[in-house]
Structure 1
């Protein structure tokens, strides 16, 4: 399989995952996502979940369908988004908040290592080498 096909598939899959997560923010998983909002965020937890859900839907859609000339920028914005929400994962761990089946400190700790992978995924699937 050609590298550009793999990159396109990875980019579209990441975009679809973001859209799914964003819809979940607005519907069935709002309570779960509130567990990840750090106490220092100056908005109501539910408002933060809603705003981040809308952002995820927009970002995921852009990743999946952006014309090739915008993919590099979109990937960098996605990477920044994943970095920006990382404190929520840390808050879930440090405040011992159960959500998404992460009901032990060990599971919450292991989850922390997946966020950098999302950053890397967004960067590698949108880098400028052999874009589709």
Structure 2
């Protein structure tokens, strides 16, 4: 949930920067994309810099847990960078959607084990609530990359499409 809190804070800051004219982020989708990219790059770097924080989250049957933590960090950084490059944005969004689904079993593992991970709340409820946010992460990646428009609704015959919102 710390990841989602970071997403929300970064989205609001990006939106405010656009409103103040500091940057030209006028669309909500662009704010969400920037927030997701920054959050992914930050937490991806954290995977690489403080891997021991993430090792308890890796299931024991997986070989080379340090490598798994490092690879997930690199995936997050690559996904974040991909969202910022217009020609890679849609591919990055699709890959991130798959990534967020792929890490769901680790989040289930965390909830079932009741882990106490450095930097995360020590309450069991935290991991269970966090599971509910996983579909939001998938949607966020797909929406901000322009792969889906839901919940935006366009009138039939409207000239706007997903490309117009990228």
TM-score by length of 1: 0.85
Counterparts of 1:118 and 1:49 in 2: how far apart (Å)? Answer: 19
Q: Could you tell me how far 1:16 is from its partner in structure 2? A: 0.9
Instruction: Write the mapping of 1:5-44 to structure 2, written as runs, cut at 5 A.
Output: 5-28=27-50, 30-41=51-62, 43-44=63-64
Counterparts of 1:71 and 1:131 in 2: how far apart (Å)? Answer: 12
Q: Could you tell me how far 1:45 is from its partner in structure 2? A: 1.4
Instruction: Write the mapping of 1:1-132 to structure 2, written as runs, cut at 5 A.
Output: 5-28=27-50, 30-41=51-62, 43-63=63-83, 65-67=84-86, 69-99=87-117, 100-128=119-147, 129=162, 130-132=164-166
**Alignment root-mean-square deviation, CA:** 1.9
Secondary structure, aligned partner of 2:75: helix
Q: Structure 1 residue runs of 4+, over 4 Å off?
A: none
Residues 4, 127 of structure 1: CA spacing in aligned structure 2 closer, same or farther, 3 A cutoff? farther
CA contact (8 A) 1:4 1:131 kept: no
Q: Could you tell me how far 1:101 is from its partner in structure 2? A: 2.2
CA contact (8 A) 2:79 2:93 kept: no
- Structure 2, unmatched stretches of 5+, are 1-18, 20-24, 148-161
CA contact (8 A) 1:7 1:125 kept: yes
Aligned residues: 127
